[in-house]
Amino acid sequence: QVFVKKCWLWTMILISIVTLLRVIWDKLPARKVYLIVLRLMFGTLFWYTITTIIDGITDNVGRCSLPEYHTRKLCVTEGGSWKYVVDISGHMFMMVFCNLFITKSLDEIYQQQDNDTLELPHVIAHAFCRILVLIFDFMMIFTILYWHSPPEKIVGTLLGVLGYTLIFKQLSSLLSSNWV
């Protein structure tokens, strides 16, 4: 669970390394670097907003086994157990969002690049990104099988897809038509 909670950090680190390698070795155009940095910034904002909302819902929509406590923090601190009424799958949100973000970023960073001409550092960084995607896929399978109800998993998944759509479709079209 700790790995999943940090998956946006792993995503940002690896995409930043891949971008930096492309800038150093291949002189990635400034426009593309600018777009990648903006996407990472908006991705971080989206991640923070959604996880804050999910935590707020989780902390406040439920019942304590001790009737005198009405928030999760107080309930657990006083030895009670918190019974969730709504528990949106933050893990599904994070893993879907990060997988889509990594996959689309790599596609765009290596667009029109012949894979046979990549230097070893590129290959290693690209491989680490793909391994991370596989780890997230594996963790999604366990989340699907063992945690949350189907609606909670669907909502988490849809939030991840929403983030991808806003950042890679809407933001990109806005920037390409007006700014960059």
pLDDT tens readout for residues 123-166? 788 788 889 889 889 988 988 898 878 888 899 899 999 999 99
pLDDT in tens, 17-39: 888 887 777 777 777 788 888 88
| Residue 48: CA count within 13 A, CB half-sphere | 6
Which pTM was predicted? Answer: 0.81
The residues, ordered by sequence, that sit 6+ positions from 94 with a Cβ below 8 Å of its Cβ are 4, 5, 7, 8, 47, 51, 160
Identify any residues that bridge with 63 across adjacent strands, giving them in sequence order. Answer: 83
Distance CA 143, CA 153 (A): 8
80: three-class secondary structure by DSSP:
coil
Identify any residues that bridge with 45 across adjacent strands, giving them in sequence order. Answer: none
